[in-house]
Structure 1
Amino acid sequence: MTSLPQARMATQASGTWVLYVLTDAPCMEWPMHDFGRVTPMPTVQERVRALAAVGYAVSGGPEWEWNATPHSPAARHLWATIAVRSLTPAGAGGEGA
Protein backbone atom coordinates (compact mmCIF):
# COMPACT_ATOMS: atom_id res chain seq x y z
CA MET A 1 0.00 0.00 0.00
CA THR A 2 1.31 3.45 -0.94
CA SER A 3 1.81 5.84 1.95
CA LEU A 4 0.51 9.33 1.10
CA PRO A 5 1.61 11.92 0.38
CA GLN A 6 4.13 10.63 -2.12
CA ALA A 7 5.94 12.51 -4.88
CA ARG A 8 6.41 11.02 -8.32
CA MET A 9 8.51 12.22 -11.19
CA ALA A 10 7.77 10.90 -14.66
CA THR A 11 7.54 11.97 -18.27
CA GLN A 12 4.27 13.20 -19.73
CA ALA A 13 2.95 12.10 -23.12
CA SER A 14 4.84 15.07 -24.59
CA GLY A 15 8.08 13.67 -23.16
CA THR A 16 8.67 16.49 -20.68
CA TRP A 17 9.49 15.70 -17.06
CA VAL A 18 6.78 16.42 -14.51
CA LEU A 19 6.72 16.10 -10.72
CA TYR A 20 3.42 15.57 -8.93
CA VAL A 21 2.37 14.78 -5.37
CA LEU A 22 -0.14 12.00 -4.78
CA THR A 23 -2.53 12.96 -2.01
CA ASP A 24 -5.96 11.74 -0.95
CA ALA A 25 -7.50 14.48 -3.14
CA PRO A 26 -8.80 13.67 -6.64
CA CYS A 27 -5.89 13.35 -9.11
CA MET A 28 -6.86 16.55 -10.95
CA GLU A 29 -6.12 18.41 -7.69
CA TRP A 30 -2.67 16.93 -7.03
CA PRO A 31 0.08 19.54 -6.78
CA MET A 32 2.21 19.44 -9.94
CA HIS A 33 5.32 21.02 -11.43
CA ASP A 34 6.23 20.66 -15.13
CA PHE A 35 9.97 21.01 -15.74
CA GLY A 36 9.20 21.87 -19.38
CA ARG A 37 11.98 19.82 -20.91
CA VAL A 38 12.80 16.35 -22.15
CA THR A 39 16.52 16.43 -21.34
CA PRO A 40 18.42 16.58 -19.18
CA MET A 41 16.56 14.74 -16.42
CA PRO A 42 15.86 17.12 -13.50
CA THR A 43 18.57 16.97 -10.84
CA VAL A 44 17.84 16.11 -7.21
CA GLN A 45 18.23 19.80 -6.33
CA GLU A 46 15.71 20.80 -9.02
CA ARG A 47 13.27 18.21 -7.68
CA VAL A 48 13.67 19.55 -4.12
CA ARG A 49 12.99 23.11 -5.35
CA ALA A 50 9.95 21.92 -7.34
CA LEU A 51 8.59 20.12 -4.29
CA ALA A 52 9.02 23.26 -2.16
CA ALA A 53 7.26 25.32 -4.84
CA VAL A 54 4.17 23.09 -4.53
CA GLY A 55 4.33 23.02 -0.71
CA TYR A 56 6.14 19.75 0.06
CA ALA A 57 9.53 18.47 1.21
CA VAL A 58 11.22 15.08 1.16
CA SER A 59 10.35 13.03 4.24
CA GLY A 60 13.12 10.73 5.44
CA GLY A 61 16.02 9.82 3.17
CA PRO A 62 16.87 11.57 -0.10
CA GLU A 63 16.76 8.41 -2.23
CA TRP A 64 14.29 8.29 -5.09
CA GLU A 65 13.05 4.79 -5.98
CA TRP A 66 13.12 4.23 -9.73
CA ASN A 67 10.66 1.98 -11.56
CA ALA A 68 10.00 1.08 -15.19
CA THR A 69 7.15 -0.46 -17.11
CA PRO A 70 7.92 -3.95 -18.44
CA HIS A 71 7.63 -2.91 -22.12
CA SER A 72 10.39 -3.08 -24.71
CA PRO A 73 13.22 -0.55 -24.23
CA ALA A 74 11.75 1.74 -26.90
CA ALA A 75 8.37 1.87 -25.11
CA ARG A 76 9.65 1.69 -21.53
CA HIS A 77 8.30 4.37 -19.20
CA LEU A 78 10.42 5.43 -16.21
CA TRP A 79 9.17 7.02 -13.02
CA ALA A 80 10.59 7.76 -9.59
CA THR A 81 8.90 7.97 -6.19
CA ILE A 82 9.80 9.39 -2.79
CA ALA A 83 7.92 9.97 0.47
CA VAL A 84 7.11 13.63 1.16
CA ARG A 85 5.54 15.76 3.87
CA SER A 86 3.53 18.96 3.63
CA LEU A 87 5.32 22.20 4.47
CA THR A 88 2.00 23.60 5.76
CA PRO A 89 1.14 22.67 9.35
CA ALA A 90 -2.07 20.66 9.69
CA GLY A 91 -5.02 22.95 10.19
CA ALA A 92 -3.32 25.98 8.59
CA GLY A 93 -4.90 27.31 5.48
CA GLY A 94 -6.02 30.84 6.07
CA GLU A 95 -9.69 30.10 6.69
CA GLY A 96 -11.21 32.22 9.43
CA ALA A 97 -12.44 30.72 12.67
Structure 2
Amino acid sequence: MKTLTAQMASDGGPWRLYVVVYGESEWPTVRFESGPVPTGADRREALAALGFEVAPGAKWAWIEDSQKPFDDSTPVVLIAAVDVRELEGAGA
Protein backbone atom coordinates (compact mmCIF):
# COMPACT_ATOMS: atom_id res chain seq x y z
CA MET A 1 0.00 0.00 0.00
CA LYS A 2 1.34 3.43 -1.00
CA THR A 3 2.33 5.80 1.78
CA LEU A 4 2.02 9.57 1.76
CA THR A 5 3.20 12.21 4.21
CA ALA A 6 0.89 14.00 6.62
CA GLN A 7 2.12 17.23 8.13
CA MET A 8 0.85 19.43 10.90
CA ALA A 9 2.02 23.02 11.27
CA SER A 10 1.45 26.17 13.28
CA ASP A 11 3.10 29.55 13.43
CA GLY A 12 1.41 30.40 16.73
CA GLY A 13 -2.12 30.44 15.32
CA PRO A 14 -4.43 27.53 14.57
CA TRP A 15 -2.88 24.15 13.79
CA ARG A 16 -3.39 22.70 10.31
CA LEU A 17 -3.05 18.99 9.56
CA TYR A 18 -2.82 18.09 5.88
CA VAL A 19 -1.85 15.16 3.68
CA VAL A 20 0.66 15.97 0.95
CA VAL A 21 -0.76 14.72 -2.35
CA TYR A 22 1.63 15.57 -5.17
CA GLY A 23 -0.01 16.74 -8.37
CA GLU A 24 -3.12 18.01 -6.57
CA SER A 25 -3.86 21.70 -6.17
CA GLU A 26 -5.72 21.21 -2.87
CA TRP A 27 -4.60 18.80 -0.17
CA PRO A 28 -6.94 17.12 2.33
CA THR A 29 -6.80 19.41 5.38
CA VAL A 30 -8.20 19.71 8.89
CA ARG A 31 -7.87 22.90 10.90
CA PHE A 32 -7.76 22.91 14.69
CA GLU A 33 -9.16 26.35 15.54
CA SER A 34 -7.92 26.78 19.10
CA GLY A 35 -6.29 25.17 22.06
CA PRO A 36 -2.97 23.49 22.68
CA VAL A 37 -1.08 21.20 20.31
CA PRO A 38 -3.56 18.56 19.08
CA THR A 39 -3.13 15.26 20.94
CA GLY A 40 -2.23 11.99 19.27
CA ALA A 41 -5.92 11.00 19.50
CA ASP A 42 -6.98 14.34 17.93
CA ARG A 43 -4.57 13.79 15.05
CA ARG A 44 -5.69 10.16 14.56
CA GLU A 45 -9.36 11.27 14.40
CA ALA A 46 -8.54 14.08 11.96
CA LEU A 47 -6.61 11.72 9.70
CA ALA A 48 -9.48 9.21 9.78
CA ALA A 49 -11.91 12.00 8.83
CA LEU A 50 -9.69 12.62 5.79
CA GLY A 51 -9.60 8.89 4.94
CA PHE A 52 -6.08 8.15 6.22
CA GLU A 53 -4.28 6.44 9.09
CA VAL A 54 -0.73 6.50 10.40
CA ALA A 55 1.30 3.84 8.59
CA PRO A 56 2.29 0.85 10.74
CA GLY A 57 5.43 1.62 12.74
CA ALA A 58 5.46 5.32 11.78
CA LYS A 59 5.99 7.97 14.45
CA TRP A 60 5.42 11.71 14.37
CA ALA A 61 8.70 13.66 13.93
CA TRP A 62 8.91 17.33 14.92
CA ILE A 63 11.09 20.12 13.55
CA GLU A 64 11.08 23.86 13.91
CA ASP A 65 11.72 26.52 11.33
CA SER A 66 11.64 30.30 11.17
CA GLN A 67 8.82 32.28 9.58
CA LYS A 68 11.50 33.82 7.35
CA PRO A 69 14.01 31.21 6.16
CA PHE A 70 17.48 31.58 7.69
CA ASP A 71 16.31 34.33 10.07
CA ASP A 72 16.18 32.92 13.59
CA SER A 73 14.94 36.24 14.98
CA THR A 74 11.49 35.64 13.44
CA PRO A 75 8.76 33.59 15.15
CA VAL A 76 9.14 29.82 15.18
CA VAL A 77 7.01 27.62 12.95
CA LEU A 78 6.53 24.10 14.34
CA ILE A 79 6.08 21.30 11.81
CA ALA A 80 5.31 17.65 12.48
CA ALA A 81 5.31 14.89 9.87
CA VAL A 82 4.36 11.22 9.73
CA ASP A 83 3.89 8.57 7.03
CA VAL A 84 0.22 7.74 6.40
CA ARG A 85 -1.77 5.43 4.17
CA GLU A 86 -5.35 5.45 2.95
CA LEU A 87 -7.85 3.75 5.21
CA GLU A 88 -9.09 0.53 3.70
CA GLY A 89 -12.17 1.29 1.61
CA ALA A 90 -11.54 5.06 1.68
CA GLY A 91 -11.45 6.96 -1.55
CA ALA A 92 -9.22 9.92 -0.72
- After TM superposition, the score normalised by the length of structure 1 is 0.74
The one of the two structures with greater contact order (alpha-carbon pairs below 8 A, sep at least 6) is 2
Distance 1:62 1:46 in 2: 17
Shift of 1:11: 1.5
2:56 is paired with a residue whose SS is coil
**Is residue 29 of structure 1 aligned with residue 26 of structure 2?**
yes
**Structure 1: how far apart are the matches of 2:74 and 2:29?**
26
What are the residue-to-residue correspondences of 1:1-97 with 2, within 5 Å?
Answer: 5-11=4-10, 15-26=13-24, 28-37=25-34, 39-69=35-65, 71-72=71-72, 75-89=75-89
Measured after TM superposition, the shift of residue 6 of structure 1 is 0.6
SS of residue paired to 2:45: helix
Return the offset for 1:41: 0.6
Q: How many residue pairs align between the two structures?
A: 86
Query: TM-score under structure 2 normalisation?
Result: 0.78
Give the conservation status (yes or no) of the 8 Å contact 1:5–1:23: yes
Q: Offset at 1:62? A: 4.8
CA RMSD of aligned residues (A): 2.4
Note the residue ranges of structure 1 that are not aligned, 5 or more in a row. Answer: none
Confirm or deny: 8 A CA contact 1:4 1:24 kept in the other structure: no
Where do 4+ consecutive residues of structure 1 move more than 3 Å?
none
Give 1 or 2 for the bigger CA radius of gyration.
1
Structure 2: state its 5+ residue gaps: none
